[in-house]
Amino acid sequence: MRLRRWLAAALGLVLLAGCGGEKAARVDPADYDAVFLWAGVPSSSVPRSARTVYLLAGEVRADDPGRFVSLRPATPKGSGAALWYTVRVERLDWSEAVYARVLADLARWRAAGNRVVGLQIDFDARTRGLADYARFLAGLRRRMRHEYQLSITGLMDWSAQGHPAALAQLAGTVDEVVIQTYQGRSTIPGYQAYMASLAKLPLPYRVGVVEDGEWQAPQDLENDPEFRGYVVFLLPPSRQAPGVQATARRN
């Protein structure tokens, strides 16, 4: 019995050593070069290190597909950072007026002297609905000018459970996906298991982490040729993340 206990303890030490012995650290935006700005987060929160900023510009809400709800009526002033115009989406059956408004805003932002990279769609597409989402994105891409890139946010289980054909459709349409690893203001427990499957994702991706959330980079992530870095989702000065009900991630 004592021998069994000793062997079990020794095995536990070996497993701990194999994990690298590193503790998860808190996410400090100043350590990263890309951030996401919710509408309720002041621009003063953007750290000097940020070279890329994703700005939530508006929403297409579930109760009205024909209306674009502007959350950032003022045009950003050119700061030198690369900007992504982000739309939070709750449904995909947009009216032509919504498409026209979004594309006109992109042109207006660029005309104001901003380095506009392109359009990002923030939509919680369930893994089983990826084919429908890919069709929507293909239609959106056809309407966009060629100089704009197309980015989307994604759920961690896409790479683990997504249908290969649907993922291939996304790869032929979007330029990057920002994989969400948090819910509310906390990192989702067990994210390491999902991150291990990202090698199956057939397109460039960034990893979205939340400000002040715990994070330990998975081993070999930096060696993945499709990995493009991190995006820190900034939190407002209050203790509650913006739009928790609307933006909670499903996995």
pLDDT attached to residue 155: 85
Say if 220 falls within a structural domain: yes
Q: Note the pLDDT tens digit of each residue in 14-70.
A: 333 334 445 779 999 999 999 999 988 998 999 999 999 999 999 999 999 899 999
Consecutive 10-residue averages of pLDDT for the chain (251 residues)? 35 34 82 95 93 97 94 86 97 96 96 96 86 94 96 83 76 93 91 82 92 92 92 81 40 33
Say if 187 falls within a structural domain: yes
Say if 40 falls within a structural domain: yes
DSSP string, 27-95: --GGG-SEEEE-TTS-GGGS-TT-SEEEEEEEEE-TT-TT--EES--SPPPP-SSEEEEEEEES-S---
Say if 16 falls within a structural domain: no
Place of tokens 């993922």: 167
Domain count, the chain: 1
Task: Note whether 29 and 23 are within 8 A (CB).
Answer: no
Say if 66 falls within a structural domain: yes
pLDDT attached to residue 250: 38
Q: Give 162's DSSP letter.
A: S
Angle at 207 between CA 201 and CA 209, to 5 degrees: 150
Give me the domain span that covers residue 195.
Answer: 23-239
Domain holding 189: CATH number?
A: 3.20.20.80
Say if 189 falls within a structural domain: yes
Say if 197 falls within a structural domain: yes
Say if 78 falls within a structural domain: yes
Q: What is the pTM of this model?
A: 0.84
